[in-house]
Structure 1
Amino acid sequence: MADRITLTGLRVFGRHGVFEHEKRDGQEFIVDITAFLDLTPAATSDDLTKTLHYGELAELAAGIVAGEPYDLIESVAGKIADEVFAKDARLTEIEVTVHKPSAPIPLTFDDVAVTVHRVR
């Protein structure tokens, strides 16, 4: 399926990480989501109910990132993907990337990210 809705660069403060200071102090995470579904019904009807509401998608993802702390960003990405899939049966695939640009790595780097991909 070629149709998709993409949300990139969602910035949310969260408390995820293996180290105690990561859960205590928290940091900013960045989330990208690509949801695959047939957009023909929305395009032909101009009806919001015929598509995935990207505002609600952003709110759901932000709630997970800002919510319960996880040790791994793999868990955060998986939780987002699973929750979005559970809320909308029209989705055929979803890809979620969680970036952790302030990961505790004692070297110079631009980003650390994990991507999960789910197919129905």
Structure 2
Amino acid sequence: MMDRIHLTGLRVPGRHGVYDSERERGQDFVVDAVLELDLSPAAASDEVADTVDYGHLADQLAEVVAGPPVRLLETLATRLCAVCLADHRVLAVTITVHKPAAPIGHAFRDVSVTRRVARPGRPGRPEHPA
């Protein structure tokens, strides 16, 4: 089993959605990221340079969510996966994008989309292009 870094509950305002009203008003989106990588080098060195700096990662993910709007959460999740995989040490990533204020005409707690993307050639893991 691969080591993991979890970043959960990153809340960022964005203007994503199918409806014009969603893009005009905007709303908060919540991002959960699970990065799979080998943490042995960082554990041995005790240096942040040998791991993913989750503060910097949060900044990058927030920039995507606050950036140009997309219509679908699936598209947003895919863009967020690409940000995580830009670090060569990340072998796979699972991103969940929550849209707690989605325009649904019924009482609900949350709606979310989850994507998992692994680098090509990762044995025993599904591979999806980011």
TM-score range, shorter chain: over 0.9
Matched, 1:47 2:47: yes
Higher relative contact order (CA 8 A, sep 6+): 1
Which consecutive residues of structure 2, in runs of 5 or more, have no partner in the other structure?
120-130
Find the counterpart in structure 1 of residue 123 from structure 2. Answer: none
TM-score by length of 2: 0.90
Alpha-carbon distance between aligned partners in 1 of 2:4 and 2:49, rounded to the nearest angstrom: 16
Find the counterpart in structure 1 of residue 20 from structure 2. Answer: 20
Find the counterpart in structure 2 of residue 66 from structure 1. Answer: 66
Matched, 1:97 2:96: yes
Alpha-carbon distance between aligned partners in 2 of 1:56 and 1:27, rounded to the nearest angstrom: 23
Q: Following TM superposition, by how much is the alpha carbon of 1:2 offset from its aligned partner in structure 2, in angstroms?
A: 2.8
RMSD after superposition = 0.7
Matched pairs, number: 119
Q: What stretches of structure 1 move > 2 A for 4+ residues in a row?
A: none
Which consecutive residues of structure 1, in runs of 5 or more, have no partner in the other structure?
none
Q: Following TM superposition, by how much is the alpha carbon of 1:83 offset from its aligned partner in structure 2, in angstroms?
A: 1.9
SS in structure 1 at match of 2:42: helix
Higher helix share: 1
TM-score by length of 1: 0.97
